[in-house]
Structure 1
């Protein structure tokens, strides 16, 4: 009986994992990437992990199911004694008045990647790959990516970012082969809702 239960649980986990990974990969719904550098592989940058820890506000991303309709979202990373990273995500669904949601993940820096590549455990035993594509010398801004270039994020230590800085970071993503037209800024304040370039609750893309 125990083996039967284990087999059922394993099959169910595999099915859920398949759906999740297909959704993350966006293999059927993503538009073609028009960037002439789209096929070039992404490269990670070295990261000083202790310095990289702390709070990061999500300034922009390519909208996808897990973060769609979220506002005031941020990540908080804590380096553990075993070298892994407690990864906390916070955000509010559709409204700044909504209750804050919290999701907890466990990240593992990949050996030999100088802290620039993490295996993110969504839930056991499912992992995805997260790439640090850029971090400025003062560790104020960072760009995270996904190997297929269908997911990407711009983070900042502060909830506000100037238009000039944002355009400069989009320029870096363009040079890496991303379709930057797919990025939407994440509202961090109520007055940003509905502004050009910002995601609004209910948007399809």
Structure 2
């Protein structure tokens, strides 16, 4: 078991390092630093559907994906990720993480423990006043997510959130919508199972 964990950790580190080999970001604001926003953590908790992301190895081919966050008494966050691989008929997968809000960042930056001792940084870049939509990012802008409280999002809202990401310096052409319903599979702008990044 220990050998498996070490091998898995090595694969994960190599995969994360591969993110640095992403195509050049053509956005003229690509080098502008990302700024987090203050977050009311109790209000932020609960279920969030992944509406779109920059696909990477761990989320590639996933459909019906969502996150569920629960604030613990110690101030940390139980972070549950659920998704189905390639098909809505596939069994639901579940991954569990532990997040720690970074002191001094007003709830807008979390250290996410994938497994001990590997941590990554997650940035809250936007949350609307009603806590219906949020944008999460990653230093370097090679990863990003659009979340919603509901599995549906209008095209107008989606375009407005992409415009925010563009203003932050993201290459928005890399975002793909995540199918939350079977009829969305294969539609323009949605990630398709088996699609390469």
**2:141 aligned with 1:149:** yes
Deviation at 1:16, TM superposition (A): 5.2
Query: Cα 1:69–1:44, aligned 2, differ >3 Å: closer, same or farther?
Result: same
Query: Cα 1:83–1:98, aligned 2, differ >3 Å: closer, same or farther?
Result: same
Conserved 8 A contact 2:128-2:134: yes
> CA RMSD for the aligned pairs?
1.8
**2:43 aligned with 1:51:** yes
Separation in 2, partners of 1:171, 1:51: 25
**2:194 aligned with 1:197:** no
Deviation at 1:76, TM superposition (A): 0.1
SS at match of 1:77: strand
Separation in 2, partners of 1:28, 1:140: 31
Structure 2: gaps (5+ residues): none
SS at match of 2:173: helix
Deviation at 1:27, TM superposition (A): 4.2
Separation in 2, partners of 1:11, 1:194: 39
Conserved 8 A contact 1:92-1:101: yes
Deviation at 1:121, TM superposition (A): 0.3
Deviation at 1:23, TM superposition (A): 2.0
- Specify the alignment match of 1:88 in structure 2: 80
SS at match of 1:26: helix
- Among residues 59, 65, 78, which one is paired with 2:70 in the alignment? 78
- Specify the alignment match of 1:103 in structure 2: 95
Separation in 2, partners of 1:14, 1:109: 27
Query: Cα 1:20–1:86, aligned 2, differ >3 Å: closer, same or farther?
Result: same
- Specify the alignment match of 2:123 in structure 1: 131
Q: How many residue pairs end up in the alignment?
A: 197
Conserved 8 A contact 2:19-2:142: no
Separation in 2, partners of 1:28, 1:136: 30
Runs of 4+ in 1 over 4 A off after TM superposition: 9-19
Name the TM-score, length of structure 1 as normaliser. 0.91
Conserved 8 A contact 2:67-2:81: yes
Deviation at 1:192, TM superposition (A): 0.2
Separation in 1, partners of 2:44, 2:142: 24
SS at match of 1:78: strand
Name the TM-score, length of structure 2 as normaliser. 0.95
